[in-house]
Amino acid sequence: MGLRERKDGSALTAGEGETWSSTRGEGAETQQLARPGQPVLTTGDGMPIRDNQNSLRTGPRGFTVLDDQVYLDKITHFDRERIPERVVHARGAGAHGYFELSHSLAPYTTAKVLTEVGVRVPVFARFSTVAGAAGSADTVRDVRGFAVKFYTSEGNWDLVGNSVPVFFIQDAMKFPDLVHALKPEPDRGYPTASSAHDTFWDFVSLMPETMHMLLWVMSDRALPRSFAMMEGFGVHTFRLIDARGRSTFVKYHWRPVAGTQTLLWDEAVRIAGADPDYHRRDLRELIESGLYPTWDLAVQLFTDADAETFPFDILDATKLVPEEIVPLQVIGRMVLDANPSNHFAEVEQVAFCPSRIVPGMDLGNDPLLQGRALSYTDSQLHRLGGANFRQLPVNRPRCPVHHFQRDGRFQADVPAGRVAYEPNSLGPGSARASEERGQRSHATSSHDGARGREREASFADHYSQARMFYRSLVEAEHRHIIDAFVFELSHVETVAIRERMVGHLRQIDDRLARAVSGDLGLPHLPAAADAIVGPYELEPSPSLSLHRTAVPTVRSRSVAILFSEGSDARTLIAVRAALELQGTRVKLVAPKIGGAVLSDGTRCVADGHLDGMPSVLFDAVVLLLTEEEARVLAAQAKARAFVQDAFAHLKAIAYAPGGDVLLDASGVERDAFVIPVARLDEFIQRAGGRRQERALTTRRTA
């Protein structure tokens, strides 16, 4: 038993753990057999497998037989490995971590996750693009999903939001239309993961309520440098419920401790080609290197009476509550410190729903939120095969679960006992509802009115907050929004749609409209769109500007050191150590992947080479070259492009004396962000700032 022939004809037993030929003759396939103590390969039913290379045949040249259980087990599972991808948010990345409360909200809620200071609650966070399919690129212009599942002692709480605080539409009734307009046009199947086409702009230009969100999507917010440098928002206005049943409105904000940083449009386009998995890779490498992505959780709290005084409706998801009206209160911190073990099992199968809350919380009457509460669960029932998706490990609560739900597809639990209903008298120890511990809903006031298909008049102001957002930004941010509108609308073939969109922009800011109209080459400035309400002049909110709220830091950012033959070893070691001390990820780039011999005679192996690691992948670059090697590289287009792109993309550049040659050959002038490596502290400080600032303080443009 277990005998096979070696290629030399001698016997071999499986226990020897050697490779044996699966058929006779030269060129035969080989396979590895289990060594003593090594797990034995099995079928899904646990049957040990003797040969995993060949199907069962009637002879070496005969037919494959239908009773080959090893092949059938393997191929039928393979044929069913794919489940429907999410309609939106299909491309995602995720990580495990914890949330720790630092400030109790006990005056407002009974939820333990928001009242037990110092208790670490496990979390799983998923970040995603919205429009693209699972195979699209990470760095497209898009909103990002920002969803967090808290595994609390009272059940799972899902805080399902986005990277911007508002949304396109006010009522979930319009969500299918929005997504159909945004997705590839059905007659041609493109463009992928892009809003720069007619059907999207046709739809939004006919829906004035989308204007505020459009300004955010055309801003730098839609091009994050990293998930770890991206803000998150709950979008909707939720409720907290205290022990006496009293309600307080709450809005949730995630603020990255690493600060916010974004890409330039040209960088985003180039990165999509050089590394379409840029954000996924960045998140995984941050965690692997111990630079755990961290966010502060902040809340805005206000009462029903406060909400009545606001010049907008807090149930309107196209509006935000400015921090100048209701300041943020930081209440805790989320740290992501573990990567998924399996992308499909965790990132793809995790199921979020905004109505998944715990006692001490409640939803609001927001019509978009109400619709999402139904739609998300319906999607999970479809994608994950049935009602038992909550039993998947990534979705399973970490607290005791007692219910009378039974059977269904993929039932993994084995409920005991004869009762599967309530009330009952046959199971006196079975679960019962609890007035004290159960989730309490807010008792809405009677003025909410009778049921009917109508929209509150206060929802009709579509331009005031869009104007406030635009006028809260600095000039460089204005330029990027203008460029984004011009790029998107230039891909719209129907001239009337372009003109209609510029008409909406005139209600937001006339200079914005004129700039977009001029850059599009429209023959005349279109008339302003009709406004049902407003727009009203709201005070600018500086907190909405990424430039104004920037936190200067190089922590979590990535810096490339370009070196070559003869580069000074002591300088390279010193620069790398100084950067890593600040929490910076350093990559060594050389003309060849094998690296180069440094000045002290040691060979330094590179992390990448010029062809495979262009400067577009980094936040700043250091040129450590001898004059001789710099002359060699100056003759190479790829080396000049490495420097030219870094300069054009507003990145800080440090250089050793030999780097002058490459800088001159690349046409790079010495501005405040091109710094000799001897002034390393200054370089680190410059590299940690926001690059939009450089467009204001230098002659560079972006």
The set of catalytic residues is 89, 162
Question: Using CA atoms, how far apart are residues 212 and 210, in angstroms rounded to an integer?
Answer: 6
Nearest CA-CA partner of 593 in 607, 572, 574: 607
Give the phi and the psi of residue 358 in degrees, each rounded to 5.
-125, 165
CA angle 578, 579, 582 (to 5 degrees): 95
- Pairing status of strand 294-302 against strand 92-101: unpaired
Determine phi and psi for 72, rounding to 5 degrees.
-60, -45
Nearest to 455 by CA among 365, 390, 377, 528: 365
Coil/strand/helix, residue 333:
strand
Q: Phi-psi bin for 248: left (phi > 0), alpha (psi -120 to 50), beta? A: beta
Burial category of 212 from C-beta neighbours within 10 Å (exposed 0-12, middle 13-18, buried 19 and up): buried
Closest CA to 336 of 494, 154, 122: 122
State how far the Cα of 685 lies from the Cα of 654, in Å rounded to an integer.
12
**Which two three-digit tokens encode residue 266?**
């040209």
Q: Count CB atoms within 10 A of the CB of residue 46.
A: 7
DSSP per residue, 156-186: EEEEEEESSS--S-SSGGGHHHHHHHHSPBT
Q: Which two tokens stand for residue 275?
A: 């590394």
Residues in the chain: 702
Q: Please identify which residue in the block is written with the tokens 């494959």.
A: 64
Residue type (1 letter), 301: L
Contact 109, 241 (CB under 8 A): yes
As a whole number of angstroms, the distance between CA 618 and CA 559 comes to 6
CA dihedral sign, ordered 636, 638, 639, 645:
positive
Asked whether the CA dihedral 399, 404, 405, 407 is positive or negative, the reply is positive
